[in-house]
Amino acid sequence: MRKLNALIAGSTGYIGVQLVKLLVRHKNVNIKYLCGNTSVGKKLSFFDKSLKSKKLPKIINYNNKLLKNVDLIFTALPNGEAQAISKNLLKTNTLIDLAADFRLKKSSEYFRWYKQKHKAIYNIKKSIYALPEITGKKVTNYNIIGCPGCYPTSVLLPLIPLIQKKSISTKNIIIDSKSGYSGAGRGIHKKHKKEILNESLSAYGLGFHRHNSEIDQELKDSTKSKINFIFTPHLVPMFRGILSTIYVNLRPGYSIKKIQFILKQFHKKNRFVKILNNNSLISTNDVVNSNNCFISVCQTKYKNKVIILSAIDNLIKGGSGQAIQNMNLKFGFDKNEGLR
């Protein structure tokens, strides 16, 4: 089988570098172009020394002429930039976006949450919001693939199966998520001193974090009714990893054992989602540097309430690994290729 030629735009950010580290191990992909703005002429090993021994092209500026030489375009760019690239795609190109440009199905919602007009509205209908364990092979019908955000990934993997089975109340779902500061990108170092990042826990985006929009969109799609939830994200003093703590009310007739059974049945063929024994206390250390999502259902002092713990690596399962999962599904590669 011929290797697919890939271009990575935004290759020097945390997710871009992590994507390259995974793709260099993928037997079906050849990294043809690495693109950046302020890093033109540099090697990617400047940003990650573990890539020093890898044969990689030097970083260049992106231009549309490059599209004729590649099959795949991965975009890990600031919001809005993948939209511009999408307008120039050739029929032979597949765009996999790791930012938010093709996560929302309505341009009005994109403007509401991201405060910028969508530059490729006609491409929204040609794209798919692709959470691999949920959308599966539907990605084969699309050449523009929007990968979910990191927080929503940790939230939707446990909640969608339970909402579809009508096992939990869709009212008063409380989502408390904590992420390593890499989720904010390299720019966070310009805003905060290193000692603050390493020693401080902070809440942000209370009630209005952008990921509210896609959590709401996908939960509504799974049940076709209104979902009532509160989502609060936090930055914690570590580099990578997300732990989401989700508080839900059980519907009559459901118990903690039945909740675990539903999750196990739904994800039994999903290699990267691990449903642990009930009341397992999980941490980000369990999943860091992997494409796994660990989920545990925990009891509370109230019989009709449970706590769901969900942990992922925001740079892999919440970003680059998920993009590779979607690529593997799109082109019929081994599901585990590049992610073992």
3-state secondary structure string, the chain?
CCCEEEEEECCCCHHHHHHHHHHCCCCCEEEEEEECCCCCCCCHHHCCHHHCCCCCCCEECCCHHHHHHCCEEEECCCCCHHHHHHCCCCCCCEEEECCCCCCCCCHHHHHHHHCCCCCCHHHHCCEEECCHHHHHHHHHHCCEEECCCHHHHHHHHHHHHHHHCCCECCCCEEEEEEEEHHHHCCCHHHHCCHHHHHHCCEECCCCCCCHHHHHHHHHHHHHCCCCCEEEEEEEECCCCCEEEEEEEEECCCCCHHHHHHHHHHHCCCCCCEEECCCCCCCCHHHCCCCCCEEEEEEECCCCCEEEEEEEECCCHHHHHHHHHHHHHHHHCCCCCCCCC
In this prediction, the residues of the chain whose per-residue pLDDT falls under 50 are 189
Q: Each residue of 270-322: pLDDT tens digit?
A: 999 999 999 999 999 999 999 999 999 999 999 999 999 999 999 999 999 99
Backbone angles phi, psi at 90, to 5 degrees: -90, 165
* CA distance readout (Å), 226 to 26, 211, 212, 250: 41, 17, 14, 17
Q: How far apart are the first and last CA of the chain?
A: 20
Which pair of structure tokens corresponds to residue 175?
Answer: 């989502």
Q: What is the pLDDT of residue 4?
A: 97
Q: What is the pLDDT of residue 218?
A: 96
Backbone angles phi, psi at 252, to 5 degrees: -55, 135
Catalytic residue (choose from 35, 147, 150, 293): 150
Beta strand 144-146 with 127-129: parallel, antiparallel or unpaired? parallel
Q: What is the pLDDT of residue 294?
A: 98
CA–CA dist 105, 217 (Å, integer)? 8
Backbone angles phi, psi at 162, to 5 degrees: -75, -35
Nearest to 178 by CA among 226, 237, 263, 131: 237
Pair 102, 146: CB distance under 8 Å: yes
Single-letter code of the amino acid located at 94:
T
Known catalytic membership, residue 147: no
Pair 198, 237: CB distance under 8 Å: yes
* CA distance readout (Å), 295 to 115, 211, 249, 272: 34, 20, 17, 11
Nearest to 263 by CA among 186, 164, 185: 164
Q: What is the pLDDT of residue 164?
A: 95
Q: What is the pLDDT of residue 225?
A: 80
Residue with tokens 């976006």: 97
* CA distance readout (Å), 223 to 168, 218, 234, 292: 11, 9, 28, 26
CA–CA dist 103, 105 (Å, integer)? 7
Q: What is the pLDDT of residue 254?
A: 97
Q: What is the pLDDT of residue 290?
A: 97
CA–CA dist 234, 242 (Å, integer)? 10
* Residue extents of the structural domains in the chain: 4-147+318-331, 151-314
Nearest to 250 by CA among 310, 282, 298, 213: 298
Domain 151-314 falls in which CATH fold?
Dihydrodipicolinate Reductase; domain 2 (3.30.360)
Domain 4-147+318-331 falls in which CATH fold?
Rossmann fold (3.40.50)
